[in-house]
Amino acid sequence: MASFEYRGLNKEGKNVKGLVDAENIKAAKQKLKRDGVYVVDIKDRKAQAAKNKAKGISFGSGVNVQELALMTRQLATLVKAQIPLVDSLSAVVEQVENENLKSALSDVKQMVNEGSSLYKAPSKHPKIFSNIYVSLCEAGETSGTLDIILLRLAEFTEKQNELRNRVRSAMMYPVIIGFFSSIVLVVIFVTVIPQISEVFSSMEKALPWYTEVLIAISGFMVNYWYILISVLAFVTFSFMRWKSTESGRLSWDGLKMRIPVVGKLIRMIAVSRFAKTLSTLLQGGVPMLTAFDIVKNVVDNKVFEKIIADARDNVSEGESIAGPLRKSGEFPPIVIHMISIGEKTGELESLLTQVSESYDFQVNNTVAGLTSILEPVMLIFMGGVVGFIVFAILVPILEMQNIA
């Protein structure tokens, strides 16, 4: 059975639109006719989605985190109100505005209506519904606490997105400043300095070494720009290819955490993501080993991924989680201490939540402090570069005027 999107007129002559499930378009039109709807336009949702994809309209999942979190929260509310799952999904499908999400939810609703479990349906759309989403749905459906799990999943998604957006927005200003400053410098070296160097060449007087360096750099950029672009392209390609390998990614992720200030922030984000995800999965009733398999793919850091994999092996052998974390040297001692206490007292989930909240707070403070440091540092650096250029140009001109 397929899902069709329609527009039409009801018995009162008012415009109506929605979704209808039927074997084919003809059956869908007959079904709508029985309901008193005169069909103006009707189309197969799957065929339309495939058409859009072929045209290149859809990139990635096409669903942002806010839309997914809102949909999940709405579904949790309906399920908590003891509305049947199929009816809840139907209501959410009509509410959702994003076409990609609407199409995926229609498929989910159709599969559930045909007797499939809820967690199996979202797994057919991995670009929209992550492993965490599917696993928590499975745990909630199995334990009969689907409404609680969906609400917890919505909160988890919102907090993760909030943290990601805060870091991105904090880094946006330095990136923009750096980008436009680089363009300005290139314009100066390619257009302004060559004209001034022609004036200096007519002076027949020795120039200061710094002016000679400036003119040499400008001349190289003007005459051998293709070499610069080729080298830059080669270095970028080589770096991306190296980073795509297992050993390269492991080395790069380890190197990033050794960068002053920035490395500390990267480590805190990874620790927060680890603690929050593991806590959410365990509170949702996901088995420990399955939770570790999911968490290691969520931290987005090969160093932490390897540490978490070692911790999983420890757990599978009946040993503690804290051992491999302590041995790695990457996890802060306070985190290891709280995890160790949580394992002994049986309150691991709540202590992991406290760790996550604490590190979220630290990330916020570090991001704010890093932003306040980066802005003046970049301004001072760019001011120094521009000042050097002006100094290197003005000194010979002033000397020429003194001679005159």
CA distance 353 to 278: 9
Is 208 a member of any domain? Answer: yes
Check if the beta carbon of residue 339 is closer than 8 Å to that of residue 324.
Answer: no
Is 352 a member of any domain? Answer: yes
CA distance 166 to 160: 10
CATH number reported for the structural domain that contains residue 17 in this entry: 3.10.20
Q: Kindly tell me if the per-residue pLDDT of 171 is higher than 80.
A: no
For helices 99-113 and 85-95, give the axis angle rounded to 10 degrees. Answer: 160
Same domain, 239 and 352: yes
pLDDT band at 60 (very low <50, low <70, confident <90, very high): very low
Q: For residue 58, what pLDDT is reported?
A: 36
DSSP 124: G
Those residues whose C-beta lies under 8 Å from the C-beta of residue 160, and which sit 6 or more positions away, are 65, 273, 276
Same domain, 99 and 216: no
Nearest CA among 401, 398, 373, 333 for reference residue 174: 373
Mean residue pLDDT of the chain comes to 82
CA distance 392 to 200: 12
DSSP 207: P
Q: Kindly tell me if the per-residue pLDDT of 351 is higher than 80.
A: yes
Most distant CA pair in the chain, distance: 100
Q: Kindly tell me if the per-residue pLDDT of 208 is higher than 90.
A: no
Same domain, 258 and 365: yes
DSSP 123: G
Report phi then psi at 134, rounded to 5: -65, -45
pLDDT tens digits, 68-82:
888 888 888 888 888
Is 136 a member of any domain? Answer: no
Same domain, 207 and 241: yes
Check if the beta carbon of residue 104 is closer than 8 Å to that of residue 128.
Answer: yes
pTM over 0.75: no
pLDDT tens digits, 309-338:
888 888 888 888 888 888 888 888 888 999
Same domain, 230 and 183: yes
Same domain, 11 and 109: no
Same domain, 275 and 394: yes
Check if the beta carbon of residue 158 is closer than 8 Å to that of residue 71.
Answer: no
Report phi then psi at 41, rounded to 5: -150, 140
Same domain, 373 and 258: yes
| Mean pLDDT score, 240-264 | 88
Is 111 a member of any domain? Answer: yes
Nearest CA among 364, 362, 319, 327 for reference residue 343: 319
DSSP 82: T
Same domain, 40 and 169: no
pLDDT band at 347 (very low <50, low <70, confident <90, very high): confident
Is 260 a member of any domain? Answer: yes
Same domain, 288 and 385: yes
Is 140 a member of any domain? Answer: no
Which of 129, 147, 175 terminates a domain? The answer is 129
| Percent of the chain topping pLDDT 70 | 93
Same domain, 79 and 225: no
pLDDT band at 242 (very low <50, low <70, confident <90, very high): very high
Domain boundaries, position 51: 2-55
Same domain, 104 and 203: no
Q: Please, what is the Cα angle at 294 between 283 and 53, to 5 degrees?
A: 115
pLDDT band at 56 (very low <50, low <70, confident <90, very high): very low
Q: How many domains does the chain have?
A: 3
Which of 55, 75, 95 terminates a domain? The answer is 55
Is 142 a member of any domain? Answer: no
b/e 370-379 (16+ beta carbons within 10 angstroms → b):
beeebeeeee
| Mean pLDDT score, 148-177 | 81
Which residues are paired to 5 by β-bridges? Answer: 19, 43
Q: Kindly tell me if the per-residue pLDDT of 52 is higher than 50.
A: no
| Mean pLDDT score, 283-298 | 83
Nearest CA among 39, 52, 36, 50 for reference residue 5: 39
Q: Kindly tell me if the per-residue pLDDT of 404 is higher than 80.
A: no
Q: Kindly tell me if the per-residue pLDDT of 381 is higher than 60.
A: yes
Is 150 a member of any domain? Answer: no
Q: Which of 45-49, 167-171, 324-328 has the highest mean pLDDT?
A: 324-328
